[in-house]
Amino acid sequence: METNSRRTYAPAKRPGTEPGTGSALPAELEPLFWDVEFAETRWPEHDDFVVKRILDQGGLNAIRWVRATVGDERLVRWLGARKGAGIDRRRLRFFEAILDIPHRRVNAWLRRPERQVWDNRCITKP
C-alpha cells in the first residue's frame, strides 16, 4: 500500500481568507513546493508560506512572480518584520541589492545573536 508523503499545508487562519478561496499558484512554482500538496497551496491564503519559500529557495522566475504579485515595498516590509530570519545570508544580500534595502539594516539583521548559531555553524576556528 502506497501512502502520500506530502502533507497539506495548514497555515494560521487570517481574517478574510477562508480555506480554498484563494487562487492557485502558477504551475512553474510547483518544484519549490515538493513537500506539500501544491494543488492545495493557495494565494493569498498561504501567502506567508509562499513568500518565504520563494525568497529562500526560488529562482529568478519565481522571484519575478512574487515581486509582481506582492510588490517590492511589501517584500521589504516582510523581510523587515522577520529581520531576515529564515533567509540565507547570501540571499539576503541579493535582496538588499534588488529591493534597495539599506546595507546597515541588513548588517543589523545578520548580526542578531539568534542568527549566529546557524550562520556560523561551518566556521572553524584555529
What pLDDT does residue 100 have? 98
Please choose, from the candidates 63, 61, 69, 68, the residue with its C-alpha nearest in 3D space to the C-alpha of residue 43: 69
Flag residues of the chain having pLDDT under 70: 1-21, 123-126
| Cα distance between residue 93 and residue 119, in whole Å | 14
Whether the ω angle into residue 15 lies within 30 degrees of 0, i.e. cis, is no
What pLDDT does residue 122 have? 74
